[in-house]
Amino acid sequence: MFERPIEKIIMETLNNDEQINALAFITFLKENKMFFEKEKGYWEDKFYWAIKYNDKYVCTVAPKPDLPFFRQAYKVARNCQTSTANNSAC
C-alpha cells in the first residue's frame, strides 16, 4: 500500500490555523528525531501514527479535525520539549 506523507494529509484535511499548527508540530517532531510509526490492525488504514522517542511511545497523531488526538499530542510534545530543555525526562 502506498503511504502518503503526513504533511500531505494535513494539507488535505485541516484548514487555516490548524493546518499551520499541525505542520509546525510535525516539523518539531522530526527535528527532534522522533520516529513516526504507522499503527497496525484497526488503525492501519487510518490517518493515525504512533510517535516514538528513544524507543518509547510519547504520543499519537491523527490529523483529522473531528478527532481530538492531534490536540492532545501537541500538548504532550510541548510538555516534553519543556522537560528536555530542563534536562529532565519527558
* Domain assignment present for 21: yes
Count Cβ atoms within 10 A of the Cβ of residue 21 and give its class: 0-12 exposed, 13-18 middle, 19 or more buried: middle
* Domain assignment present for 83: no
- For residue 31, what pLDDT is reported? 93
* Domain assignment present for 39: yes
pLDDT tens sequence for the chain (90 residues): 446 788 888 888 888 888 888 899 899 999 999 988 887 777 777 777 888 999 898 888 876 655 555 555 555 555 555 554 555 444
* Domain assignment present for 89: no
23 within 8 A of 10, measured Cβ to Cβ: yes
pTM more than 0.75: no
- For residue 89, what pLDDT is reported? 47
Domain count, the chain: 1
* Domain assignment present for 24: yes
